[in-house]
Amino acid sequence: MNDRAVYISLSIQRSIKLRTLLHLTHLLRFLRSALRGSILPCCCLATCAVSAQQYELRGVVTDGSSGETLIGASVVLKGTTTGATTDIDGRFEITVSELPPYTLVISFIGYASQEIEVKSLDQELKFKLSTDQVLLKEAEVIGSRISDKQKQAPLTVESMDVLAIREAPSGDFYESLGTLKGVDMTAASMGFKVINTRGFNSTSPVRSLQLIDGVDNQSPGLNFSLGNFLGASDLDVMKVDIIAGASTAFFGPGAFNGVINMTTKSPWLFPGLSATAKVGERNLLEGAIRWAEVFKNKDGKDKFAYKLNLFAMQAEDWYAENYDATSNSPTSVSNPGRYDAVNIYGDENVTVNNNYERDMADRRNYPGLGVFLRPGYKEIDLVDYGTNNLKAGLSLHYKIKDSLEVIAASNYSRGSTVYQGDNRYRLENIQFFQQRLEVREEGKWFVRGYFTTEDAGDTYDIFTTGLRLQDASGPTREWNVAYFNLWDSWIGSALNPGLLDETVPEYLTPSEAINQGVVNSAAEYDVYIQQFVADNQELFTQYHQMMADSVNKLNTSFLDPAFSVGTAAFDAKREEIVSKRFTEGGSLFYDRSQLVHGMGEYRFKPSFGEVVVGGNIRQYMPNTAGTIMSDTGDVVIRNQEFGVFVGLEKSFLENKLKTTLTLRMDKNQNFDAVFSPAASFVYTPRQDRTFRLSFSSAVRNPTLADQYFY
């Protein structure tokens, strides 16, 4: 059945504008802006030059308080991708093909974004925009990262902008998302980091949806995103929005606990070359390059643009060397007959002929034998911890007209790392392909389709590899029987003093203990023998190690010699196991799953408000050859789902009260239709005060593995 969630949230946000700044801060703000190369508006003076069928908008963006120019500010024609960023002198130039009126949007990080309408070509434009600043304890001045648009959004949004991404103190921007409010970051390995929201921390984030430019970044077979391992390069990410909480009404059935919504840099606004290189501990080497170029037509208008991204990383991952006892271990770490360790596989408890401390007779007849487990194999002997990641992306952009754009994009990722799920998995040479085609008119409508396919490569289950490698020399049941027989014949009920060429501590058999008056009953002897074993832990640990070594060397009709780490036989057998599929007795996964998705949205403004309608349809095409799902033999699995939604946005009280109502219906072929309503009320009595009351609901369909697990 579907999972459902409902959230009601109330938030109040307030910002106090600082009226007066010290003159000394003017220079510091200017230097900071120059270094950051970021974007936000303040004061703009623009002039217009007219040529045949073309109109040039030129101007300068400055700080409203100091009058200093701002480098890297964004000036864009509203509703289009036509725009420019200011140069080192704070100047910009935009070529337009139509006469006014139109609206300019000027933005720069650290300042309040504003819009101004251009009504004539001879109009002199002057913007006086105040900075977004907050005074704390009458002394500390900080910049507000919450824009007016975020404050009035129907959902709780935490954002990381282009400046924060570039200055992220962590290894990459994705890891820095863990510093945002309400976000939990889990590192399964160096190459695999996972984001969760609302407290459901898991390395399999099926409750969250990850989007890159509106495209679901999930693995078609697993139904969740592998962190940013198959995602976007740091150099190409413009901003990341984290929407915490139930968001199905706005984003679909995957948005149960929240959405990680990434927006990449448009080649129209971010042309040119950028590159980065990193080195670090664990032999970390990382490099990325981004190239974008814009082409104009004969009239001087932007017509075609493209961008190319390349990213590569390699490192030596952290070794898994946790040898504490698991929660399921039948014994503690001090048990002479071993215990079930976290990162040793094959030492799990198989309760067949391996427990001789359950009753008094066993403790009396086989002192020190107790509970014994098979030694197993350490993970470090089964896995190559080399981590590598390659990402490549190409997108082509064509403007049919200023506001109408066609986008064709292709992304490819490949890599190897370790994934922690129910078991430990080595993702070896996993590949991910995604193709996207989109047509959109900015701010009005879009139609988007994409196709995703994956190849699990040489991915294998580390835990199962250890079990199969151990069972290759004989089943654990037979190993336990041989272990007991060897103990009974070598040690028996009377400890053999010469077995280890050492002097065994004084030990009394039951009859000796009674005859000498040490004990008077079987119960007292039981206490005596348990204390004797406890006092001689080191001796019995040596006995058990000798038993295990001896059994591992046996060559009988039931047991073959165990495969010793470091030998050619061990390497050959391990390679054989990780190269064979689960269905063939190995530990290899086969996954060539695909998904195809189509969606569309349309916005229009009738007299009663702004309405948005849309829908989507998706088909999953899993192909796991029975290693994950029940698609064995001639069985073909197909799973379809679709959804439709409608939303209404209307303002009241002179635009101080903004209401948003949304209703969505989703239907999966295996489940009944589910409706997800949402509503929000945002009241802004003045610019520096915002009150929001919201209600939202969500639904999560079971993953394909949940529905078709083999």
pLDDT-derived band at 129, boundaries 50, 70, 90: low
Tell me what percent of the residues of the chain surpass a pLDDT of 70. Answer: 85
* Mean pLDDT on 310-316: 96
Neighbours of 321 (CB within 10 A): 11
Report the Cα 644 to chain-centroid distance in Å.
27
Residue 499: name the closest of 528, 533, 548, 540 by CA: 540
Q: Which residues, in sequence order, are bridge partners of residue 159?
A: 241
The CA distance from 449 to 464, in Å, is: 38
pLDDT at 503: 52
User: Most confidently modeled of 8-22, 58-72, 362-376, 430-444?
Assistant: 430-444
pLDDT at 152: 55
Token duo for residue 222:
């697993």
The CA distance from 670 to 620, in Å, is: 13
**Per-residue pLDDT reduced to its tens digit, 331-367:** 999 999 999 999 999 998 877 789 998 888 888 888 8
Residue 390: name the closest of 453, 292, 316, 310 by CA: 310
pLDDT at 153: 60
Helices (H), 270-359: none
Q: What secondary structure does DSSP assign to 612-675, as a single string?
A: EEEEEEEEEE---TTSSBS--TT----EEEEEEEEEEEEEETTTTEEEEEEEEEEEETTS--EE
pLDDT-derived band at 145, boundaries 50, 70, 90: very low
Residue 22: name the closest of 145, 139, 137, 143 by CA: 139
Long-range contacts at 505-513 (CB < 8 A, ≥ 24 apart):
505/532, 505/535, 505/536, 505/539, 507/367, 507/532, 510/364
CB 528 within 8 A of CB 534: no
* Mean pLDDT on 469-479: 93
Whole-model pTM: value is: 0.75
pLDDT at 597: 97
Tell me what percent of the residues of the chain surpass a pLDDT of 90. Answer: 44
**Per-residue pLDDT reduced to its tens digit, 156-211:** 788 888 878 877 777 788 888 888 888 888 887 887 888 888 767 777 777 788 89
What SS3 string covers 404-418? Answer: EEEEEEEEEEEEEEE
The CA distance from 79 to 220, in Å, is: 34
The CA distance from 398 to 648, in Å, is: 31
Residue 309: name the closest of 398, 413, 225, 227 by CA: 413
H or E element at residue 400: strand 386-401
**Per-residue pLDDT reduced to its tens digit, 673-706:** 999 999 999 998 987 788 989 888 888 888 888 8
**Per-residue pLDDT reduced to its tens digit, 423-447:** 899 999 999 999 999 999 988 999 9
Judged against a pLDDT cut of 90, whether residue 215 lies above it is answered with: yes
Judged against a pLDDT cut of 60, whether residue 27 lies above it is answered with: no
Within 13 Å, how many C-alpha atoms sit on residue 481's CB side?
Answer: 8
The one-character DSSP state at 110 is T
Token duo for residue 505:
């501590």
Give CA angle at 259 (257, 263), nearest 5°: 175
Structural domain spans, the chain: 24-131, 148-264, 344-380+473-562
**Per-residue pLDDT reduced to its tens digit, 238-280:** 999 888 877 778 788 878 878 889 999 999 999 999 999 999 9
Judged against a pLDDT cut of 50, whether residue 7 lies above it is answered with: no
**Per-residue pLDDT reduced to its tens digit, 605-624:** 998 899 999 999 999 999 99
For 522, phi then psi, to 5°, come to -65, -35
The CA distance from 263 to 81, in Å, is: 14
pLDDT at 49: 39
What CATH class has 24-131? mainly beta
Sheet order of strands, 54-62 included: 91-96, 54-62, 43-51, 125-126
Asked: is 148-264 a CATH 1.10.150.120 domain? The reply is no
The CA distance from 103 to 664, in Å, is: 33
Mean pLDDT of the chain: 83
